[in-house]
Structure 1
Amino acid sequence: MAHGFGLTGHDGLPSYAEALTQAGVAVLAYDHRYLGDSEGEPRQRIRTSEQLEDRMAAIAFARMLDGIDPDQIILWGYSLSGGTTLEATVADQRVAAAILLCPFLDGRWRLFQGLRTQPRNALWLIPQAMRDAVIPIAAAPGGRAGLTFPGELEGFLSAVAPGWRNEVHAGLALPLPLWRPVAQARKFTCPVLIQAGERDITVSARAIDRVAQRAPRATLKNSQIIEDQADWLRAFSRV
Protein backbone atom coordinates (compact mmCIF):
# COMPACT_ATOMS: atom_id res chain seq x y z
CA MET A 1 0.00 0.00 0.00
CA ALA A 2 1.41 3.36 -1.04
CA HIS A 3 -0.07 6.83 -1.34
CA GLY A 4 -0.47 9.21 -4.25
CA PHE A 5 1.17 12.42 -5.46
CA GLY A 6 2.96 14.18 -2.62
CA LEU A 7 1.15 12.26 0.12
CA THR A 8 2.54 10.02 2.84
CA GLY A 9 1.43 7.12 4.99
CA HIS A 10 0.19 9.57 7.62
CA ASP A 11 -2.35 11.12 5.24
CA GLY A 12 -5.42 8.92 5.57
CA LEU A 13 -3.78 5.54 4.90
CA PRO A 14 -4.15 4.14 8.45
CA SER A 15 -7.95 3.93 8.14
CA TYR A 16 -7.66 1.97 4.89
CA ALA A 17 -4.98 -0.30 6.33
CA GLU A 18 -7.09 -1.03 9.41
CA ALA A 19 -10.19 -1.86 7.37
CA LEU A 20 -8.25 -4.20 5.09
CA THR A 21 -6.60 -5.87 8.06
CA GLN A 22 -10.03 -6.51 9.53
CA ALA A 23 -10.95 -8.11 6.21
CA GLY A 24 -8.28 -10.71 6.90
CA VAL A 25 -5.18 -9.54 5.05
CA ALA A 26 -1.78 -8.36 6.25
CA VAL A 27 -0.96 -4.81 5.15
CA LEU A 28 2.47 -3.42 4.32
CA ALA A 29 2.21 0.38 3.98
CA TYR A 30 5.25 2.40 2.99
CA ASP A 31 6.30 5.86 1.83
CA HIS A 32 8.07 6.33 -1.48
CA ARG A 33 11.69 7.46 -1.38
CA TYR A 34 12.22 11.14 -0.50
CA LEU A 35 8.78 11.38 1.12
CA GLY A 36 7.39 11.01 4.63
CA ASP A 37 9.10 8.35 6.74
CA SER A 38 11.31 7.09 3.89
CA GLU A 39 14.87 8.24 3.51
CA GLY A 40 16.70 9.84 0.62
CA GLU A 41 17.66 13.21 -0.79
CA PRO A 42 16.48 15.52 -2.21
CA ARG A 43 13.34 15.56 -0.10
CA GLN A 44 9.98 15.89 -1.88
CA ARG A 45 11.26 14.62 -5.22
CA ILE A 46 8.86 12.43 -7.20
CA ARG A 47 9.65 10.34 -10.26
CA THR A 48 7.28 7.64 -11.52
CA SER A 49 10.18 5.38 -12.54
CA GLU A 50 11.66 5.54 -9.04
CA GLN A 51 8.30 4.94 -7.40
CA LEU A 52 7.82 1.88 -9.62
CA GLU A 53 11.20 0.63 -8.38
CA ASP A 54 10.02 1.21 -4.79
CA ARG A 55 6.84 -0.74 -5.50
CA MET A 56 8.79 -3.68 -6.92
CA ALA A 57 11.12 -3.61 -3.89
CA ALA A 58 8.13 -3.64 -1.53
CA ILE A 59 6.69 -6.66 -3.35
CA ALA A 60 9.98 -8.53 -3.06
CA PHE A 61 10.23 -7.65 0.64
CA ALA A 62 6.66 -8.77 1.37
CA ARG A 63 7.30 -12.13 -0.26
CA MET A 64 10.12 -12.80 2.21
CA LEU A 65 8.03 -12.16 5.35
CA ASP A 66 7.07 -15.06 7.58
CA GLY A 67 3.44 -16.04 7.30
CA ILE A 68 2.95 -14.37 3.91
CA ASP A 69 1.98 -16.43 0.85
CA PRO A 70 4.32 -15.10 -1.88
CA ASP A 71 1.72 -15.93 -4.51
CA GLN A 72 -1.04 -13.94 -2.81
CA ILE A 73 0.43 -10.43 -2.96
CA ILE A 74 -2.20 -7.74 -3.59
CA LEU A 75 -1.22 -4.20 -4.57
CA TRP A 76 -3.07 -1.04 -3.47
CA GLY A 77 -2.53 2.35 -5.07
CA TYR A 78 -4.14 5.78 -4.93
CA SER A 79 -3.89 8.45 -7.65
CA LEU A 80 -0.29 8.50 -8.96
CA SER A 81 0.55 5.25 -7.19
CA GLY A 82 -2.47 3.70 -8.89
CA GLY A 83 -0.59 4.12 -12.16
CA THR A 84 2.58 2.52 -10.81
CA THR A 85 0.44 -0.28 -9.37
CA LEU A 86 -0.80 -1.08 -12.87
CA GLU A 87 2.77 -0.99 -14.19
CA ALA A 88 3.97 -3.28 -11.38
CA THR A 89 1.33 -5.92 -12.08
CA VAL A 90 2.27 -5.91 -15.76
CA ALA A 91 5.96 -6.27 -14.85
CA ASP A 92 5.28 -9.00 -12.26
CA GLN A 93 2.60 -11.39 -13.47
CA ARG A 94 2.88 -13.25 -10.17
CA VAL A 95 0.95 -10.47 -8.39
CA ALA A 96 -2.41 -11.92 -7.35
CA ALA A 97 -4.68 -8.85 -7.49
CA ALA A 98 -4.82 -5.05 -7.22
CA ILE A 99 -6.97 -2.23 -5.88
CA LEU A 100 -6.84 1.15 -7.61
CA LEU A 101 -8.42 4.15 -5.90
CA CYS A 102 -8.95 7.18 -8.21
CA PRO A 103 -5.93 6.09 -10.28
CA PHE A 104 -3.87 8.54 -12.32
CA LEU A 105 -3.35 6.70 -15.60
CA ASP A 106 -2.69 9.28 -18.33
CA GLY A 107 -0.12 12.06 -18.03
CA ARG A 108 -0.82 13.33 -21.53
CA TRP A 109 -4.45 14.00 -20.58
CA ARG A 110 -3.29 16.03 -17.59
CA LEU A 111 -1.03 18.17 -19.79
CA PHE A 112 -3.80 18.97 -22.25
CA GLN A 113 -6.26 19.74 -19.46
CA GLY A 114 -3.76 22.08 -17.84
CA LEU A 115 -3.08 23.93 -21.08
CA ARG A 116 -6.80 24.24 -21.76
CA THR A 117 -8.04 25.31 -18.34
CA GLN A 118 -4.98 26.80 -16.57
CA PRO A 119 -2.70 27.97 -19.42
CA ARG A 120 -0.77 30.56 -17.41
CA ASN A 121 0.13 28.04 -14.74
CA ALA A 122 1.04 25.45 -17.39
CA LEU A 123 3.43 27.89 -19.07
CA TRP A 124 4.89 28.96 -15.71
CA LEU A 125 5.51 25.32 -14.85
CA ILE A 126 7.78 24.62 -17.83
CA PRO A 127 10.85 26.60 -16.69
CA GLN A 128 10.29 25.42 -13.11
CA ALA A 129 10.39 21.83 -14.34
CA MET A 130 13.50 22.43 -16.44
CA ARG A 131 15.46 23.50 -13.34
CA ASP A 132 13.65 21.05 -11.05
CA ALA A 133 12.64 23.89 -8.74
CA VAL A 134 10.70 23.25 -5.54
CA ILE A 135 7.13 24.46 -6.04
CA PRO A 136 3.81 24.04 -4.19
CA ILE A 137 2.05 20.74 -4.83
CA ALA A 138 -1.36 22.40 -4.98
CA ALA A 139 -2.81 25.91 -5.09
CA ALA A 140 -6.16 27.53 -5.77
CA PRO A 141 -7.08 28.28 -9.41
CA GLY A 142 -5.03 31.24 -10.60
CA GLY A 143 -2.18 30.31 -8.28
CA ARG A 144 1.14 28.74 -9.17
CA ALA A 145 1.62 25.05 -8.32
CA GLY A 146 1.73 21.58 -9.77
CA LEU A 147 -2.03 21.14 -9.29
CA THR A 148 -4.36 24.14 -9.65
CA PHE A 149 -7.67 22.73 -10.87
CA PRO A 150 -10.74 23.87 -8.87
CA GLY A 151 -11.00 21.94 -5.62
CA GLU A 152 -7.58 20.28 -5.75
CA LEU A 153 -6.02 22.33 -2.95
CA GLU A 154 -9.11 21.84 -0.79
CA GLY A 155 -8.97 18.11 -1.46
CA PHE A 156 -5.43 17.90 -0.17
CA LEU A 157 -6.12 20.04 2.88
CA SER A 158 -9.14 17.91 3.82
CA ALA A 159 -7.13 14.67 3.72
CA VAL A 160 -3.63 15.42 4.98
CA ALA A 161 -2.28 15.04 8.50
CA PRO A 162 -0.52 17.81 10.43
CA GLY A 163 3.00 18.30 9.13
CA TRP A 164 2.17 17.64 5.47
CA ARG A 165 4.57 19.51 3.18
CA ASN A 166 2.95 21.31 0.26
CA GLU A 167 6.16 21.09 -1.74
CA VAL A 168 7.43 19.07 -4.66
CA HIS A 169 10.29 19.18 -7.17
CA ALA A 170 8.85 20.34 -10.48
CA GLY A 171 11.00 18.06 -12.65
CA LEU A 172 8.25 15.43 -12.68
CA ALA A 173 6.29 17.62 -15.11
CA LEU A 174 8.76 17.07 -17.97
CA PRO A 175 8.37 13.28 -18.49
CA LEU A 176 4.81 13.08 -17.14
CA PRO A 177 3.03 13.63 -20.51
CA LEU A 178 4.80 10.50 -21.80
CA TRP A 179 3.73 8.44 -18.78
CA ARG A 180 0.55 6.59 -19.77
CA PRO A 181 -0.13 3.38 -17.83
CA VAL A 182 -3.53 3.30 -19.56
CA ALA A 183 -1.72 2.07 -22.69
CA GLN A 184 -0.93 -1.20 -20.89
CA ALA A 185 -4.54 -1.94 -19.95
CA ARG A 186 -4.80 -5.20 -21.92
CA LYS A 187 -1.73 -6.54 -20.09
CA PHE A 188 -3.38 -5.84 -16.71
CA THR A 189 -4.54 -9.41 -16.34
CA CYS A 190 -4.91 -9.98 -12.58
CA PRO A 191 -8.23 -9.33 -10.79
CA VAL A 192 -8.50 -5.60 -10.06
CA LEU A 193 -10.99 -3.40 -8.23
CA ILE A 194 -11.04 0.16 -9.61
CA GLN A 195 -12.80 2.82 -7.56
CA ALA A 196 -13.47 6.10 -9.36
CA GLY A 197 -14.76 9.40 -8.05
CA GLU A 198 -17.71 10.78 -10.01
CA ARG A 199 -16.53 14.38 -9.46
CA ASP A 200 -12.79 13.71 -9.61
CA ILE A 201 -11.21 16.24 -11.98
CA THR A 202 -7.59 15.43 -11.13
CA VAL A 203 -7.44 12.18 -13.10
CA SER A 204 -8.84 11.10 -16.45
CA ALA A 205 -12.22 9.38 -16.18
CA ARG A 206 -11.81 8.24 -19.79
CA ALA A 207 -8.54 6.49 -18.96
CA ILE A 208 -10.16 4.76 -15.97
CA ASP A 209 -13.04 3.58 -18.15
CA ARG A 210 -10.63 2.33 -20.78
CA VAL A 211 -8.69 0.26 -18.26
CA ALA A 212 -11.94 -1.10 -16.82
CA GLN A 213 -13.09 -2.13 -20.31
CA ARG A 214 -9.80 -3.58 -21.55
CA ALA A 215 -8.36 -5.22 -18.45
CA PRO A 216 -9.72 -8.78 -18.61
CA ARG A 217 -10.66 -9.10 -14.92
CA ALA A 218 -11.52 -5.56 -13.85
CA THR A 219 -14.37 -4.47 -11.59
CA LEU A 220 -15.27 -0.76 -11.68
CA LYS A 221 -17.16 1.00 -8.90
CA ASN A 222 -18.03 4.69 -8.82
CA SER A 223 -17.32 4.99 -5.12
CA GLN A 224 -14.41 5.49 -2.76
CA ILE A 225 -15.84 3.48 0.14
CA ILE A 226 -13.40 1.49 2.24
CA GLU A 227 -16.02 -1.18 2.89
CA ASP A 228 -16.22 -1.91 -0.85
CA GLN A 229 -12.53 -2.73 -0.83
CA ALA A 230 -12.91 -5.00 2.20
CA ASP A 231 -15.91 -6.80 0.65
CA TRP A 232 -14.06 -7.27 -2.65
CA LEU A 233 -11.06 -8.72 -0.81
CA ARG A 234 -13.25 -11.15 1.11
CA ALA A 235 -14.87 -12.30 -2.14
CA PHE A 236 -11.45 -12.58 -3.82
CA SER A 237 -10.12 -14.74 -0.98
CA ARG A 238 -12.98 -17.19 -1.49
CA VAL A 239 -12.34 -17.64 -5.21
Structure 2
Amino acid sequence: MSVVDTPARREDIRIGEVAAWWYRPSGAAGAGARAGCVVMAHGFSLTRHDGLPAFAEAFAAAGLHVLLFDHRHLGDSGPPRPRQRFRAAEQRADWANVVAHARTLEGVDPARIVLWGYSFSGGHVVRQLIHRADVAAGLVLCPFVDGPQRVLATPPSLIAWILPRALRDLAGSHNLIPVTGPPGSRAAMTLPGEADGFAAAVPEGSPWRNEISPGLFVTVGLERPVAQARHVRAPLWVGVGERDISTHGPSVERLAKDAPLGELHRYPYDHFEPFLGEAPARIAADQVEFLQRIGLA
Protein backbone atom coordinates (compact mmCIF):
# COMPACT_ATOMS: atom_id res chain seq x y z
CA MET A 1 0.00 0.00 0.00
CA SER A 2 1.72 3.17 -1.18
CA VAL A 3 0.99 6.68 0.05
CA VAL A 4 0.67 9.52 -2.47
CA ASP A 5 1.11 13.15 -1.42
CA THR A 6 -1.94 15.22 -2.40
CA PRO A 7 -3.78 18.09 -0.67
CA ALA A 8 -5.68 15.33 1.11
CA ARG A 9 -3.45 12.37 1.94
CA ARG A 10 -4.50 9.39 -0.13
CA GLU A 11 -3.52 5.74 -0.26
CA ASP A 12 -3.61 3.29 -3.15
CA ILE A 13 -5.51 0.18 -2.15
CA ARG A 14 -6.84 -2.91 -3.94
CA ILE A 15 -10.25 -4.45 -3.38
CA GLY A 16 -9.96 -7.70 -5.29
CA GLU A 17 -9.32 -6.62 -8.89
CA VAL A 18 -10.51 -3.06 -8.18
CA ALA A 19 -7.99 -0.22 -7.77
CA ALA A 20 -9.05 2.53 -5.39
CA TRP A 21 -7.74 5.64 -3.71
CA TRP A 22 -8.58 6.11 -0.05
CA TYR A 23 -8.63 9.77 0.98
CA ARG A 24 -8.60 10.32 4.72
CA PRO A 25 -10.22 13.41 6.23
CA SER A 26 -7.74 16.26 6.17
CA GLY A 27 -9.23 18.00 9.25
CA ALA A 28 -8.25 17.08 12.76
CA ALA A 29 -10.65 14.68 14.45
CA GLY A 30 -11.09 13.84 18.08
CA ALA A 31 -9.58 10.65 19.46
CA GLY A 32 -11.66 7.70 18.34
CA ALA A 33 -13.94 9.91 16.24
CA ARG A 34 -15.50 8.36 13.15
CA ALA A 35 -16.54 10.11 9.95
CA GLY A 36 -18.69 9.34 6.96
CA CYS A 37 -17.27 7.95 3.72
CA VAL A 38 -18.09 8.96 0.14
CA VAL A 39 -17.74 6.07 -2.33
CA MET A 40 -17.09 7.41 -5.84
CA ALA A 41 -16.64 6.08 -9.37
CA HIS A 42 -16.26 7.43 -12.88
CA GLY A 43 -18.67 7.56 -15.80
CA PHE A 44 -18.84 5.47 -18.96
CA SER A 45 -15.28 4.51 -20.05
CA LEU A 46 -13.60 7.19 -17.90
CA THR A 47 -11.26 6.55 -14.96
CA ARG A 48 -10.78 7.82 -11.43
CA HIS A 49 -8.08 10.17 -12.79
CA ASP A 50 -10.54 12.07 -14.99
CA GLY A 51 -11.98 15.01 -13.09
CA LEU A 52 -12.80 13.16 -9.87
CA PRO A 53 -9.80 13.93 -7.59
CA ALA A 54 -10.93 17.55 -7.18
CA PHE A 55 -14.27 16.36 -5.81
CA ALA A 56 -12.62 13.75 -3.57
CA GLU A 57 -10.26 16.33 -2.10
CA ALA A 58 -13.19 18.68 -1.39
CA PHE A 59 -14.99 15.95 0.55
CA ALA A 60 -11.82 15.07 2.48
CA ALA A 61 -11.34 18.76 3.33
CA ALA A 62 -14.89 18.73 4.72
CA GLY A 63 -13.94 15.94 7.14
CA LEU A 64 -15.04 12.88 5.18
CA HIS A 65 -13.29 9.74 4.06
CA VAL A 66 -13.43 9.05 0.32
CA LEU A 67 -13.02 5.78 -1.56
CA LEU A 68 -12.59 6.55 -5.27
CA PHE A 69 -12.30 3.54 -7.59
CA ASP A 70 -11.99 2.31 -11.16
CA HIS A 71 -14.43 -0.33 -12.34
CA ARG A 72 -12.85 -3.65 -13.26
CA HIS A 73 -11.25 -3.85 -16.74
CA LEU A 74 -10.86 -0.03 -16.82
CA GLY A 75 -8.25 2.45 -15.65
CA ASP A 76 -5.91 0.99 -13.03
CA SER A 77 -8.16 -1.93 -12.12
CA GLY A 78 -7.61 -5.52 -13.24
CA PRO A 79 -7.73 -8.09 -14.54
CA PRO A 80 -4.96 -7.70 -17.17
CA ARG A 81 -7.26 -9.18 -19.83
CA PRO A 82 -9.63 -8.35 -21.28
CA ARG A 83 -9.11 -4.61 -21.09
CA GLN A 84 -11.82 -2.02 -21.69
CA ARG A 85 -14.64 -4.50 -21.15
CA PHE A 86 -17.90 -2.94 -19.99
CA ARG A 87 -20.48 -5.07 -18.20
CA ALA A 88 -23.12 -3.21 -16.21
CA ALA A 89 -23.77 -6.16 -13.88
CA GLU A 90 -20.06 -6.48 -13.09
CA GLN A 91 -19.83 -2.79 -12.33
CA ARG A 92 -22.80 -3.00 -9.98
CA ALA A 93 -21.03 -5.87 -8.21
CA ASP A 94 -17.94 -3.63 -7.92
CA TRP A 95 -20.07 -0.99 -6.21
CA ALA A 96 -21.39 -3.51 -3.70
CA ASN A 97 -17.89 -4.80 -2.94
CA VAL A 98 -16.35 -1.35 -2.56
CA VAL A 99 -19.17 -0.19 -0.28
CA ALA A 100 -18.68 -3.29 1.88
CA HIS A 101 -14.95 -2.55 2.06
CA ALA A 102 -15.55 1.10 2.94
CA ARG A 103 -17.40 0.02 6.07
CA THR A 104 -14.27 -1.77 7.30
CA LEU A 105 -11.86 1.17 6.94
CA GLU A 106 -10.32 2.59 10.07
CA GLY A 107 -12.16 5.72 11.18
CA VAL A 108 -15.20 5.23 8.93
CA ASP A 109 -18.67 5.35 10.44
CA PRO A 110 -20.43 2.45 8.65
CA ALA A 111 -23.80 4.14 9.14
CA ARG A 112 -22.71 7.18 7.12
CA ILE A 113 -21.87 5.80 3.68
CA VAL A 114 -22.61 8.18 0.78
CA LEU A 115 -22.56 7.12 -2.89
CA TRP A 116 -21.34 9.56 -5.58
CA GLY A 117 -21.79 8.85 -9.29
CA TYR A 118 -21.37 10.70 -12.57
CA SER A 119 -23.05 9.79 -15.87
CA PHE A 120 -23.37 5.97 -16.08
CA SER A 121 -22.18 5.63 -12.50
CA GLY A 122 -24.98 7.99 -11.52
CA GLY A 123 -27.35 5.32 -12.76
CA HIS A 124 -25.45 2.71 -10.73
CA VAL A 125 -25.88 4.86 -7.62
CA VAL A 126 -29.62 5.17 -8.17
CA ARG A 127 -29.91 1.40 -8.58
CA GLN A 128 -27.94 0.84 -5.37
CA LEU A 129 -30.24 3.20 -3.49
CA ILE A 130 -33.32 1.44 -4.90
CA HIS A 131 -32.18 -2.01 -3.81
CA ARG A 132 -30.56 -1.33 -0.45
CA ALA A 133 -31.56 0.61 2.65
CA ASP A 134 -28.12 0.75 4.33
CA VAL A 135 -26.74 3.77 2.44
CA ALA A 136 -27.14 7.20 4.02
CA ALA A 137 -27.37 9.37 0.87
CA GLY A 138 -26.58 9.64 -2.82
CA LEU A 139 -24.97 12.34 -4.97
CA VAL A 140 -25.48 12.00 -8.74
CA LEU A 141 -24.10 14.40 -11.34
CA CYS A 142 -25.42 14.35 -14.93
CA PRO A 143 -26.68 10.82 -14.26
CA PHE A 144 -27.50 8.35 -17.04
CA VAL A 145 -30.93 7.17 -15.92
CA ASP A 146 -32.93 6.75 -19.15
CA GLY A 147 -31.33 4.50 -21.76
CA PRO A 148 -34.23 4.57 -24.24
CA GLN A 149 -33.80 8.34 -24.65
CA ARG A 150 -30.14 7.84 -25.58
CA VAL A 151 -31.13 5.18 -28.11
CA LEU A 152 -33.59 7.62 -29.69
CA ALA A 153 -30.83 10.24 -29.96
CA THR A 154 -28.45 7.82 -31.74
CA PRO A 155 -28.46 7.72 -35.58
CA PRO A 156 -29.99 4.45 -36.84
CA SER A 157 -26.98 3.83 -39.08
CA LEU A 158 -24.70 3.93 -36.01
CA ILE A 159 -26.97 1.51 -34.13
CA ALA A 160 -26.83 -0.85 -37.12
CA TRP A 161 -23.02 -0.71 -37.07
CA ILE A 162 -22.69 -1.25 -33.29
CA LEU A 163 -25.30 -3.99 -32.81
CA PRO A 164 -23.54 -6.93 -34.55
CA ARG A 165 -20.30 -6.07 -32.76
CA ALA A 166 -22.18 -5.93 -29.46
CA LEU A 167 -23.71 -9.35 -30.06
CA ARG A 168 -20.30 -10.83 -30.85
CA ASP A 169 -18.92 -9.30 -27.67
CA LEU A 170 -21.67 -10.84 -25.54
CA ALA A 171 -21.13 -14.18 -27.29
CA GLY A 172 -17.54 -14.21 -26.04
CA SER A 173 -15.67 -12.63 -28.96
CA HIS A 174 -14.08 -9.66 -27.21
CA ASN A 175 -13.84 -6.68 -29.54
CA LEU A 176 -13.53 -2.93 -29.09
CA ILE A 177 -15.03 0.14 -30.71
CA PRO A 178 -14.09 3.80 -30.20
CA VAL A 179 -15.73 5.47 -27.22
CA THR A 180 -16.17 8.76 -29.01
CA GLY A 181 -15.65 10.58 -32.28
CA PRO A 182 -17.08 13.53 -34.21
CA PRO A 183 -20.66 13.45 -35.51
CA GLY A 184 -20.99 11.01 -38.37
CA SER A 185 -18.11 8.81 -37.24
CA ARG A 186 -18.34 5.24 -35.98
CA ALA A 187 -18.07 5.35 -32.20
CA ALA A 188 -20.28 4.91 -29.14
CA MET A 189 -20.70 8.63 -28.38
CA THR A 190 -20.79 10.91 -31.42
CA LEU A 191 -23.26 13.64 -30.49
CA PRO A 192 -22.01 17.20 -31.10
CA GLY A 193 -19.37 18.17 -28.56
CA GLU A 194 -18.86 14.73 -27.03
CA ALA A 195 -15.44 14.04 -28.57
CA ASP A 196 -14.23 17.51 -27.58
CA GLY A 197 -15.68 16.97 -24.11
CA PHE A 198 -13.69 13.80 -23.54
CA ALA A 199 -10.55 15.50 -24.81
CA ALA A 200 -11.01 18.38 -22.37
CA ALA A 201 -11.93 16.27 -19.35
CA VAL A 202 -9.15 13.67 -19.59
CA PRO A 203 -5.89 15.03 -18.11
CA GLU A 204 -2.39 14.24 -19.31
CA GLY A 205 -1.20 10.93 -17.89
CA SER A 206 -4.66 9.44 -17.50
CA PRO A 207 -4.98 5.73 -18.38
CA TRP A 208 -8.23 6.46 -20.26
CA ARG A 209 -8.40 4.85 -23.68
CA ASN A 210 -10.71 5.71 -26.55
CA GLU A 211 -11.87 2.09 -26.75
CA ILE A 212 -14.71 0.14 -25.15
CA SER A 213 -16.36 -3.23 -25.59
CA PRO A 214 -19.77 -2.79 -27.25
CA GLY A 215 -21.77 -5.50 -25.44
CA LEU A 216 -23.55 -2.94 -23.28
CA PHE A 217 -25.38 -1.56 -26.28
CA VAL A 218 -27.55 -4.65 -26.61
CA THR A 219 -29.21 -3.77 -23.30
CA VAL A 220 -28.68 0.00 -22.95
CA GLY A 221 -32.33 0.58 -23.85
CA LEU A 222 -33.27 -1.33 -20.69
CA GLU A 223 -31.11 0.85 -18.41
CA ARG A 224 -33.83 3.06 -16.93
CA PRO A 225 -33.44 3.49 -13.17
CA VAL A 226 -35.49 6.70 -13.32
CA ALA A 227 -38.58 4.51 -13.62
CA GLN A 228 -38.02 3.30 -10.05
CA ALA A 229 -37.00 6.62 -8.52
CA ARG A 230 -39.97 6.55 -6.12
CA HIS A 231 -38.27 3.63 -4.34
CA VAL A 232 -35.17 5.70 -3.45
CA ARG A 233 -35.63 6.37 0.26
CA ALA A 234 -32.28 7.99 1.04
CA PRO A 235 -31.65 11.72 0.53
CA LEU A 236 -30.60 12.21 -3.10
CA TRP A 237 -28.71 15.21 -4.50
CA VAL A 238 -29.20 15.47 -8.27
CA GLY A 239 -27.13 17.73 -10.53
CA VAL A 240 -28.30 18.48 -14.08
CA GLY A 241 -26.37 20.32 -16.78
CA GLU A 242 -28.66 22.67 -18.66
CA ARG A 243 -26.65 22.17 -21.88
CA ASP A 244 -26.05 18.44 -21.40
CA ILE A 245 -27.17 16.47 -24.47
CA SER A 246 -25.37 13.25 -23.49
CA THR A 247 -27.97 12.46 -20.85
CA HIS A 248 -31.68 13.28 -21.04
CA GLY A 249 -32.35 16.40 -18.97
CA PRO A 250 -36.11 15.86 -18.42
CA SER A 251 -35.39 12.35 -17.10
CA VAL A 252 -32.78 13.71 -14.68
CA GLU A 253 -35.32 16.26 -13.47
CA ARG A 254 -37.91 13.52 -13.08
CA LEU A 255 -35.45 11.53 -10.96
CA ALA A 256 -35.16 14.40 -8.50
CA LYS A 257 -38.92 14.95 -8.51
CA ASP A 258 -39.93 11.30 -8.05
CA ALA A 259 -37.33 10.40 -5.40
CA PRO A 260 -39.08 11.14 -2.08
CA LEU A 261 -36.02 12.97 -0.73
CA GLY A 262 -34.66 14.18 -4.06
CA GLU A 263 -33.17 17.63 -4.52
CA LEU A 264 -32.41 19.13 -7.95
CA HIS A 265 -29.48 21.47 -8.66
CA ARG A 266 -29.09 23.15 -12.06
CA TYR A 267 -25.82 24.21 -13.65
CA PRO A 268 -25.09 26.03 -16.95
CA TYR A 269 -22.87 23.20 -18.18
CA ASP A 270 -22.77 20.46 -20.76
CA HIS A 271 -21.93 16.85 -19.87
CA PHE A 272 -18.19 17.41 -19.41
CA GLU A 273 -17.88 20.97 -18.13
CA PRO A 274 -18.46 19.93 -14.47
CA PHE A 275 -14.80 18.84 -14.58
CA LEU A 276 -13.40 22.07 -16.07
CA GLY A 277 -12.32 25.41 -14.67
CA GLU A 278 -14.13 26.55 -11.54
CA ALA A 279 -17.01 24.10 -11.98
CA PRO A 280 -15.64 21.32 -9.71
CA ALA A 281 -15.21 23.72 -6.78
CA ARG A 282 -18.70 25.16 -7.30
CA ILE A 283 -20.44 21.79 -7.55
CA ALA A 284 -18.45 20.17 -4.75
CA ALA A 285 -19.28 23.08 -2.43
CA ASP A 286 -22.98 22.53 -3.12
CA GLN A 287 -22.63 18.80 -2.47
CA VAL A 288 -20.74 19.36 0.79
CA GLU A 289 -23.40 21.85 1.91
CA PHE A 290 -26.07 19.22 1.21
CA LEU A 291 -24.23 16.61 3.27
CA GLN A 292 -23.72 19.06 6.10
CA ARG A 293 -27.38 20.02 6.04
CA ILE A 294 -28.50 16.40 6.45
CA GLY A 295 -25.94 15.66 9.14
CA LEU A 296 -23.46 13.54 7.17
CA ALA A 297 -20.50 15.94 7.09
TM-score range, shorter chain: over 0.9
Aligned residues: 236
Aligned partners of 1:82 and 1:102 also within 8 Å: yes
Structure 1 stretches of 4+ moved >4 Å: none
> Which residue of 2 is the match for residue 231 of structure 1?
289
Q: What is the aligned-residue RMSD (CA, Å)?
A: 1.3
1:43 aligns with 2:87: no
Paired residue secondary structure (1:222): strand
- For 1:238 and 1:159, the matched residues in 2 are separated by 29
Q: Which has the higher contact order (CA 8 A, sep 6+)?
A: 1
The answer (yes or no) to whether the contact 1:23–1:233 under 8 Å persists in 2 is no
- 1:130 Cα deviation after fit: 1.5
Displacement, 1:226? Answer: 2.1
Partners of 1:24 and 1:195 in 2: CA distance: 22
- Asked if the contact 1:23–1:231 (Cα under 8 Å) also holds between the matched residues in 2, the reply is no
**Amino acid in the other structure paired with 1:113:** A
Does the CA-based 8 Å contact 2:178-2:211 persist in structure 1?
Answer: yes
**What's the counterpart of residue 74 of structure 1?**
114
Partner of 1:154: 196
| Alignment pair present for 1:191 and 2:235 | yes
1:112 corresponds in structure 2 to: 152
1:161 Cα deviation (Å)?
2.3
Q: Which residue of 2 aligns with 1:5?
A: 44
| Greater Rg over alpha carbons, structure | 2
Structure whose residues are more often helix by fraction: 1
Q: Match for 2:293: what amino acid? A: A
Pairing 1:110-189 to 2, within 5 Å after superposition: 110-114=150-154, 118-132=155-169, 133-162=175-204, 163-189=207-233
Q: What percentage of aligned pairs have identical amino acids?
A: 46
More strand by share: 2
Q: Which runs of 5+ in 1 are unaligned?
A: none
Q: Deviation digits for residues 173-225 of structure 1, max 9, x if unmatched?
A: 00111111111101111001101100000111121111111100011001252
CA–CA distance in 1 between the matches of 2:44 and 2:296?
A: 33
User: What corresponds to 2:69 in structure 1?
Assistant: 30
State the distance in 2 between where 1:47 and 1:181 align: 16
Normalising to structure 2: TM-score of the pair?
0.77
